[in-house]
Amino acid sequence: MSSGYSSLEEDAEDFFFTARTSFFRRAPPGKSRSGQPDVEKEKETHNYLSKEEIREKVQKYNSAVTDRLKMTLNSNGIYTGFIKVQMELCKPAQPPPGPSSSGCMNTLHISSTNTVGEVIEALLKKFLVTESPTKFALYKRCHREDQVYACKLSDREHPLYLRLVAGPRTDTLSFVLREHEIGEWEAFSLPELQNFLRILDKEEDEQLQSLKRRYTAYRQKLEEALGEVWKPG
């Protein structure tokens, strides 16, 4: 499969695919489906940094790159680049055919306009995962002073922006795709869950009343004992 970056595909060990060609069926970047400028999306993308700040960070990022996976800044302020995503799924994903497949670590070429939700959809489609994208989440894994922190990203965040700010080192920031942990309550319907809450509220009230009676009786006995002690002889 061609991603438009064949020179990188020949030299890198990971499997590349371009998110845009994998699942985008829309007008070129900066345009809406009607052909008009997508002002809201561009505004949302650029509200983090000014164009000059983006230019400086892209230059700094590219100077630190060691694997040739550099970012490209377009004249409209939108930039493209690569992120690596570790697949940590309960069910093994089916890798696409080809000698460039590389286990569960996948390299994606995306745009700064691509959201977390779009990246998840592209990954699932590429690896033939049929479950709904809502069952999956993208996490950022941060490394600070010998400690590792994992944080779930919202669907509207932009992974390439996070990559740009953190720099190219994956030991500083990495991305992980995981399935949502399925709890025991997800098997019940909404009316059943609401009924459980009513039962819990009733039991909580009964326990509270019992506790109040217990301490009222304890206070009464204590006051009676104190009365006996201070009774004039």
What confidence score (pLDDT) does residue 182 get? 57
Q: Are 93 and 101 in contact (CB under 8 A)?
A: no
Q: How many other C-beta atoms lie within 10 A of the C-beta of residue 195?
A: 12
Q: What is the mean pLDDT of residues 209-217?
A: 92
Q: How many other C-beta atoms lie within 10 A of the C-beta of residue 115?
A: 20
Q: Is the pTM of this model over 0.85?
A: no
How far is it, in rounded angstroms, from Cα 225 to Cα 144?
60
How many helices (H) and strands (E) are present in the chain, helices listed first? 7, 7
Q: What is the mean pLDDT of residues 205-210?
A: 92
Q: How many other C-beta atoms lie within 10 A of the C-beta of residue 55?
A: 14
pLDDT tens for residues 100-140? 435 478 889 999 999 999 999 999 988 888 888 888 999 99
Long-range CB pairs of 57-60, under 8 A, 24+ apart, other chains included: 57/164, 57/165, 58/164, 60/167
- The residues near 3 (Cβ < 8 Å, ≥ 6 apart) are 9, 16, 17, 18, 21, 109
What confidence score (pLDDT) does residue 186 get? 60
Torsion of CA 190, 196, 200, 201, to 10 degrees: 50
Q: What is the mean pLDDT of residues 157-171?
A: 94
What confidence score (pLDDT) does residue 191 get? 79
Is the model more confident about 131 or about 74? 74
How far is it, in rounded angstroms, from Cα 24 to Cα 30?
13
- Mean pLDDT is lowest, of 29-38, 198-207, 216-225, for 29-38
pLDDT above 60: residue 45:
no
How far is it, in rounded angstroms, from Cα 205 to Cα 186?
26
